Every structure is written in C-alpha cells, then in structure tokens.
Amino acid sequence: MKIKRVAWSTFLLTSENITVLTDPVLLANVGLTLPKSKVDICLFSNYPSKIQTSVLADTKLTNKIVPDKRESVMEISTPGEFEVGGLMIRRGIEDKFFIIDEKTVRVVYMGGTDNTFDPNSVKDLGDVDVLILPVGDGVNFMDFDTVEKVISNIDPAILIPCAYKEEGVKNATVKTKEEFIQHFGFGNVREESYLNINKKSVEEDQKSVEVIFLT
C-alpha cells in the first residue's frame, strides 16, 4: 500500500486495485483547498451519519473527486464493514476512526477523533502497522495526554502525524510538528514524500515507534 498526504488530515491510500481518500471535507475548515482527485472510496470520519444524500454532493465536491477504477465513488461515513477491491474497511458503531486492512497490512486512520475520545477503545486492534493520528492538540482534536495513551495502547510500527500547524493552515489553536516532537521526545523521526508499506518494510525487531511526517 502506498500512503501519500494531500494536506491536513486528508490522505490518499493506494492499493493494487483501489484508491482511498480520507476526510476531504475537513480541508475547507482550515482554509485549504483540495486538488482534483481520482479515487474509488471516500472516508468521512466526522460527517453527520444521518445525511441521506451523497456527502460529496452535499459539500459540492463532486467536480473535484471523480471515480478512478470504479464507475462511481463509494462514500463511507457510517459504521460497518466494507470489502472493496481487496481492501477491508471497518468502523465501529461508536467510533470515528477506520481500520483499513490490505492482506497482512493494517492501517488505522483517526483523523476525526477529538477530546471526547476514549483511548481504552483501541486496546484490542491487533497488530497495527501504520497509525494516522491528529497531533495538533487543538480544541477540535485529542490533547497530548490522550494522544500519548492512544499511541501506547495501539503500539503501531509507524506513526504518521496529521492536523498540526503548518503553512497555509488558518487555525491558530493547533501546535506545530516541532512542538509535538519536542513534547514526546521522539528520536526516530523522518520526513518522506510518500510511504510504501508492506510487512517486509516493517522491522520485526523494531523496539520503538517510527514517526514519519509525509510532506
């Protein structure tokens, strides 16, 4: 699976047969714009589940998000299990996060979680290869204490931070990635333009989480 960050908490996850886009609606909330994207599945972690129409239509994104390999873009904003093109996507009834499985690789996307999140709810997710987590410590996201508990409970091989202060983001309440790194004292940190993840790329003897900022 290839993981590429678009901006904020919007990511493209590309498998052999399917491309997934996460939370494109959240970009407008911080003054960012979405480039035109060809995708198969859109995940919406905090859009009202009672919406009866298309989320893309409701948010006027149908011209920017168009189908890739499917005839239409599949939208997932509600709990359930969805198997599409070799991917298994799951969301619990009370959860705002998604578990995305491709063969033996597991990615957990938590872009819509906030300070009401119970870190004990992620104690039994199994082996998580990649955790995509909002780390800006703002009023709309988990504070650093909750972030620490989530990371400890999930114990991912790789942590991809998102939703932090950077150029172009119109949200003064979130912290920068430097503040995040300093607060937690991470030593194993690097930047990449994208990430290719498979079981062979995750070190079996890895003793600490590897933090990768996608630029």
Tens digit of pLDDT for each residue in 162-196?
999 999 998 778 999 999 999 999 989 999 999 99
Cα of 132 vs its chain's centroid, Å: 4
CA distances for 46 relative to 43, 71, 98, 144, 158, angstroms:
9, 25, 11, 20, 24
The position carrying tokens 């932090």 is 164
Q: How far apart are CA 187 and CA 180, in angstroms?
A: 12
The predicted-structure confidence for 132-144, as pLDDT tens digits, reads as follows 999 998 777 899 9
Alpha carbons within 13 angstroms on the beta-carbon side of residue 158 total: 26
Which residues of the chain carry a pLDDT beneath 50? none
Q: What is the pLDDT of residue 165?
A: 93
Given this model, what pLDDT does residue 49 score? Answer: 58
Write the CB contacts of 124 (distance below 8 Å, at least 6 apart in sequence).
none
pLDDT on residue 96: 86
Dihedrals phi, psi of 133, to nearest 5 degrees: -135, 130
- Name beta bridge partners: 99: 90, 108
SS3 for 5? Answer: strand
Compute the distance between CA of residue 211 and CA of residue 117 in angstroms, rounded to an integer: 22
Q: Which domains does the chain have, with CATH numbers?
A: 2-214 (3.60.15.10)
pLDDT of residue 160: 98
CA nearest neighbour of 160 among 39, 27, 2: 2
